[in-house]
Amino acid sequence: MDESFANLQSSHLLGSVPAVISDDKRSTNVPIASVNEGPSASMQIFPPNLGNNTKGYQTLESPTVEGPAQQPSNNWKGFFNVYSYTQYFDVDTDVVLNRLMSSLYPTSGDFFNKIDANPDLYGLVWICTTLVFVLASLGNCATYLVKKRTDSNAPWIFDVNYMNLAASIIYGYAIIVPLGFYFALRYMGSKADLLRFWCLWGYSLFIFVPTSLPLLIPVEFLRWVIILLAGSASSCFVALNLRSYLETNNDITVVMAAAFGLQMVLSIFIKVWFFP
């Protein structure tokens, strides 16, 4: 205000033209606005800086502490790192042999107690691989024996497609069926551990490996007896262990029946496709 008056007085002293006077007025207005804006800008600068500092500090700290950045990186790195899967193969030879022996006794029902410490995927992987090879090779041997018995002069040709079929059926069953039971039980509100289910179903298939040798006998009735016995043993193994695992649930009968049925279907499929 005082400064503006001083400017006006100086303009009068100069005795300029009225147009110049109007320009002076405009010029006086501009510095007034600038003066008004200056302190306002300076006043506005400080709070935003403080706000920015505090917000920036918080935002910088919070993700690093809480770990939204770390968790995805860990998951991503772990997915493609071979060593992150070693925990699922942390077994020794005697442990695996013990579990294989347990899978041959279906009525005990204490398989989950034995694997409670550390369920493994070694059994699942290599029992399935062994079964694929055994079914493909002995299946061809079975067709060879049948052909020799019926028509010994006909030339026998090795069917390499047995390998593809066996791999598709066994790996598909061993991966999808436990996964299906896992999601079904989670949907029903019961406890379920996918790793333990894979371990259970993997070892349940072991009984079919030694059973394939007797299935080579080219007697149809005997083959059916052998496969039904093996299938029943394997199905009982799965069903009874599921019962002991889900003892606190009321809908256990349906789950047991489904597991038993699927295992029997698999055994009959093995008989019909590989040992006709």
Q: Which stretch binds another protein (CB under 8 A): 39-47, 83-91, 174-182, 214-222?
A: 83-91
Q: Does 158 bind another protein (CB under 8 A)?
A: yes
Among 229, 207, 197, residue whose Cα is nearest residue 127: 207
Q: Does 91 bind another protein (CB under 8 A)?
A: yes
Pick 148 or 191: Cβ nearer another protein = 148
Q: Does 79 bind another protein (CB under 8 A)?
A: no
Among 8, 21, 96, 216, binds another protein (CB under 8 A): 96
Q: How far apart are CA 271 and CA 224, in angstroms?
A: 8
Among 30, 126, 168, 276, binds another protein (CB under 8 A): 126
* Contact of 269 with 169, CB cutoff 8 Å: yes
Q: How far is the CB of 144 from another protein (least distance, A)?
A: 9
CB half-sphere exposure, 154, CA atoms < 13 A: 12
Q: Which stretch binds another protein (CB under 8 A): 36-44, 88-96, 190-198, 214-222?
A: 88-96
Token pair listed for 263: 């295992």
Question: Buried (b) or exposed (e) across 155-192, using 16+ Cβ within 10 A?
Answer: eeeeeeebbebbbebbbebbeebbeebbeebeeeebeb
Determine which helix (DSSP H) or strand (DSSP E) holds 23, and give its type and residue range. Answer: helix 18-66
Pick 32 or 209: Cβ nearer another protein = 209
By residue count, the chain amounts to 276
Q: Does 89 bind another protein (CB under 8 A)?
A: yes
Burial of residue 249 (CB within 10 Å: 0-12, 13-18, 19+) is middle
Among 8, 24, 88, 112, binds another protein (CB under 8 A): 88
* Contact of 214 with 155, CB cutoff 8 Å: no
Q: Does 212 bind another protein (CB under 8 A)?
A: no
Distances (CA, A) of 96 to 125, 126, 178, 211: 12, 11, 20, 19
Q: How far is the CB of 241 from another protein (least distance, A)?
A: 23
Among 29, 36, 74, 164, binds another protein (CB under 8 A): 164
Q: Does 117 bind another protein (CB under 8 A)?
A: no
Pick 19 or 160: Cβ nearer another protein = 160
Q: Does 154 bind another protein (CB under 8 A)?
A: no
Q: How far is the CB of 112 from another protein (least distance, A)?
A: 22
Pick 2 or 94: Cβ nearer another protein = 94
CB half-sphere exposure, 85, CA atoms < 13 A: 7
Q: Does 148 bind another protein (CB under 8 A)?
A: no
Q: Does 130 bind another protein (CB under 8 A)?
A: yes
The DSSP call for residue 107 is: T
Which residue type, as a one-letter code, is found at position 161?
N
Binding site for another protein (CB under 8 A): 82-83, 85-86, 88-94, 96, 122, 125-126, 129-130, 133, 137, 140, 157-158, 160-161, 163-164
